[in-house]
Amino acid sequence: MDASRETVRLAGRRRPVILDCDPGHDDALAILLAARHFDVLGITTVAGNVDVDRTTLNARRIVDLAGLDVPIARGCAAPLVQPAVHAPEIHGESGLDGYEFPPPRAPVEARDAVTFLVDTLRARDGITLIATGPLTNLAMALRTAPELAGRIREISVMGGSATFGNVTPAAEFNAWFDPEAAAVVFQSGIPLWMCGLNVTRQAGIDPAGIARIEALGTRTSRAMAALLRFYFDRQRDRVGVASASLHDPCAVAILLQPPVISWVPAHVAVELRGEHTRGMTVCDVRHVPHFNPAAVDGGPPRGAPPNAHVAVGIDRGAFLRLIEDALASYP
Ligand code: BDR
Ligand code: CA
């Protein structure tokens, strides 16, 4: 490990995490925010925004860019039961359009992502999993080694929504891409954090924010600014939003102190059958005053007990400062 890599992989007792992702512009930011605050034991890639060869290549590019020294393992190429349908209209054909990366140097593990997850989780208790893509790898790992559920500290998911979807009116992309896998994770009994679209759509960056990132003046910040300009244009043109939603770093930010994302306990079920609702995360917020003011006076009866901390609000300014701080910390 060379000295510059050593400086960004800070020693000490930081929370051990594995990041499971499908980079992806916002996944790239999640990697950088996670590595700023946590001990990233590995990055596992999965098919989602683009195919898994491209998401793996993109993970290597981000690790190279920031000078990180983190194992990368290539994961599942398709959802558990349905064919893969990618999202090049948002992230470009490469999955990370907007910047010309040099040839990748970071190696890829000989082990696939599911084996890497199972091996790493068996070797050490109390690991946090942060998932910012479809949940195929995590579902496969839990199916392969169900006993691991009791040893994982928590899973923080960017996916689903407590309100509206993006791929369909009801379903968010990561949950829609592999609903069966999402159901495995939400039924696992592992402590869960869910940052859904209802909050991540509020975590937007506009051209002024991107300019601030560029002005940090580092190699990493300049590259991320170029990437975010592409992503902003696509989000404006294809999604119709006035700022580019930084969905994935929310799944990192919700774990940080002081809190920038607020949450409520709720039961989340993944819809697997509905004609119009397949992939929807059905959040039981009937008893949550944030959604249902009547609940203040008792509200409707509770359903199944909560299985997740569901994000309901974000301090956008503080969140964007976390992003800037992270980007400023890399070469
Ligand atoms: C999610 O889908 C992907 O396009 C993003 O990377 C994010 O993980 C948002 O719906
Ligand atoms: Ca993603």
Specify the ligand 1 atom closest to the Cα of 248: 8
The number of the ligand nearest the C-alpha atom of 87 reads: 1
The pLDDT, as a whole number, for residue 116 is 98
Q: How confident is the model at residue 10 (pLDDT cuts 50, 70, 90)?
A: very low
Q: Is the pLDDT of residue 2 over 50?
A: no
Q: Is the pLDDT of residue 304 over 80?
A: yes
Specify the ligand 1 atom closest to the Cα of 27: 6
Whether 178 is in the pocket of ligand 1, judged by its Cβ within 6 Å, is no
Query: DSSP readout, 212-243?
Result: HHHHT-SHHHHHHHHHHHHHHHHIIIII--SS
Q: Whose CA is nearest to atom 2 of ligand 1?
A: 173
Q: Which of 147, 117, 158 shows the shortest CA–CA distance to 246?
A: 158
Ion ligand 2 neighbours, Cβ < 5 Å: 22, 24, 27, 132-133, 248
Tokens encoding 126: 């109390």
Task: Identify the structural domains of the chain with CATH numbers, from first to last.
Answer: 2-328 (3.90.245.10)
Give pLDDT tens digits for 154-173. 999 999 999 999 999 999 99
Tokens encoding 274: 């509905």
Count helices and strands in the chain by DSSP H and E runs: 13, 11
Specify the ligand 1 atom closest to the Cα of 90: 4
Q: Whose CA is nearest to atom 10 of ligand 1?
A: 173
Q: Which of 225, 205, 203 shows the shortest CA–CA distance to 214?
A: 225
Residue 37 is a catalytic residue: no
What's the predicted TM-score (pTM) here? 0.94
Give pLDDT tens digits for 82-129. 999 999 999 999 999 999 999 999 999 999 999 999 999 999 999 999
The rounded distance, in Å, linking the Cα atoms of 281 and 18 is 23
Catalytic residue among 247, 267, 287, 309: 247
- Residue type for 238, please? R
Q: Mutate which of 132, 156, 205 to test ligand 1's pocket (most atoms within 8 Å of Cβ)?
A: 132
Tokens encoding 245: 């939603």
Tokens encoding 255: 């774990």
Spacing, Cα 130 to ligand 1 middle (Å) = 14
Tokens encoding 232: 């902003």
DSSP secondary structure letter of residue 312? E
The rounded distance, in Å, linking the Cα atoms of 215 and 192 is 36
Q: Is 40 exposed, middle or buried (0-12, 13-18, 19+ CB in 10 A)?
A: buried
Whether 172 is in the pocket of ligand 1, judged by its Cβ within 6 Å, is yes
Q: Which of 225, 205, 231, 223 shows the shortest CA–CA distance to 92?
A: 231
